[in-house]
Amino acid sequence: MCEDELIPPQADMTEQEWLHTGSATTAGEPSMPTTGRTVPFVNRRTLLGGAMAGAALAVLPSPGQSPASAAARRGAPGAFPFPEHPNGKGEFAILVTGDAGTGDEAQYAVAAAARDVCQAERVGLAVGLGDNIYENGPESDDDSEFQDKFEKPNSGIDVPWLMVLGNHDCSGLIPGSGGDPSRGDREVAYAATSRRWYMPSRYYSVPLPAADPLVEFFAIDTIPWSSYVAQIDPRYRWDGPYMREQRNWLDGALRASRARWKVVFGHHPYLNNGKHGSAGSYDGFEIGNYTSGVHLKDMYDSVVAGRADLILSGHDHTLQILEPTARTGGTRQVVCGASAKTEDGKAHFAHPAAWQNFSDHGFMVLKVSGARLTIEAYTVDVATRKATLAHRTRQTRPVSAPAPAHA
């Protein structure tokens, strides 16, 4: 059973409530919070979560395990190169997919449709937004699932794929729990042997082009802050060294970036009109400092909002291009998690949206030039393996232009 089906949707927070809810710590406090919210109620789902946490004890990783190997950071021999110049249309075009790793016909159909669009749009880079290997992530660094659920369906989309970890990639006994983050190291290790799969470490950045970046991508690991169970390994606790290091890294990397456009991408969304809801209120329940994503919301509030142009996320198997708001500091949330699965066909929340779709499979293409950032959403008919351009959104002003080099 997939975790996504295990937890029923519940709209436990209206948009207004979410907008007026501060971070888990003192407003404006940039440091890692030291206390979490208490469990407000105990119901069937909380009890279920507690049972899951207990079961997770049986699949704990070894403490102190390194999140990435030095070999993986060097990349694979013969890896597809990053684009150094805009395509013939004067843009960098990037394919965006999410929650794709089922190995089912729908994944292959969406990938086939995307392959055609990538050729027409001269796509030079791709993004995979997590849940890359359902249901429990790979069993080893060279698990055959990497072939069946990534390489084979994406054959012909011969570009670097910027990959981030999803909750299913970091699960052990309980599919989708996110309770075993160390399993994500296998996906980092796999990058050392794949021409497509790019994951030099569990979080990283990619400037494009490298020499004088127009856009910079910041890949983050949202799992330990959003797991359905409590993290038992001290390294991956919500206030443990791993999450402190990642938060400090992202803060510094965004500050140091000279790119005109900045794109943060991780599996769990900041804002979300799908059934899982937004960070801080995921799925309507929480276990201590986990599950609801309260500390992820705090990180998005404090580190990302108003500093990145886009947050790209999956987790919900939907297509959403939400509107930037004053609450987000002008940062736009995009959810693109319908590359193998779909949802229940309806919005569960009402954050302002430029366009959203809760029924169809699909993917998106992000186009970046000095003048504009364009997001194109495609729906896919699985039976015919054909894509239809459903919506296009453009923005022309970066939320945070870099300071002049001489300042």
- Residues at the interface with Fe ion (CB under 5 A): 131, 166-167, 315
Residue 127 phi, psi (nearest 5): -125, 135
Instruction: Classify residue 407 by burial, with Cβ atoms within 10 Å: 0-12, 13-18, 19+.
Output: exposed
- Residue least distant from Fe ion (Cβ): 315
DSSP state of 330: T
Residue number with CB closer to Fe ion (268 or 367): 268
Residue number with CB closer to Fe ion (128 or 166): 166
CB of 399 to Fe ion, least distance (A): 26
CB of 401 to Fe ion, least distance (A): 33
Contact indicator for 379, 342 with CB cutoff of 8 Å: no
CB of 335 to Fe ion, least distance (A): 11
Q: Whose CA is closest to 56, among 226, 225, 184, 230?
A: 230
Residue number with CB closer to Fe ion (102 or 205): 102
CB of 100 to Fe ion, least distance (A): 11
Q: What is the DSSP string of 5-63?
A: HHS-----S-HHHHHT---SSSTT--SPPS--PPP----HHHHHHHHHHHHHGGGPPPT
Report which residue type is found at 327: R
Contact indicator for 400, 259 with CB cutoff of 8 Å: no
Residue number with CB closer to Fe ion (25 or 167): 167
CB of 268 to Fe ion, least distance (A): 7
Long-range contacts of 32-35 (CB under 8 A, 24+ apart): 32/239, 32/243, 32/244, 32/247, 33/239, 33/295, 33/298, 34/239
CB of 120 to Fe ion, least distance (A): 30
Radius of gyration for the alpha carbons in the chain, expressed in angstroms and rounded: 19
Residue number with CB closer to Fe ion (138 or 166): 166
4 CB-near residues (< 8 Å, 6+ apart): 176, 276, 317, 341
Structure tokens at 157: 């989309």
Residue number with CB closer to Fe ion (167 or 272): 167
Question: Hunting for tokens 């987000």 — which residue is that?
Answer: 328
Residue number with CB closer to Fe ion (168 or 196): 168
Residue number with CB closer to Fe ion (83 or 130): 130
β-strand 373-381 against 261-265: which pairing, if any?
unpaired
Q: Whose CA is closest to 315, among 272, 376, 360?
A: 272
CB of 178 to Fe ion, least distance (A): 8
Structure tokens at 17: 């409530």
Contact indicator for 235, 186 with CB cutoff of 8 Å: no
CB of 184 to Fe ion, least distance (A): 13
Q: How many residues are present in the chain?
A: 407
CB of 317 to Fe ion, least distance (A): 9
Sign of the CA dihedral running 67, 139, 266, 92: positive
Residue number with CB closer to Fe ion (315 or 351): 315
d(CA 3, CA 317): 13
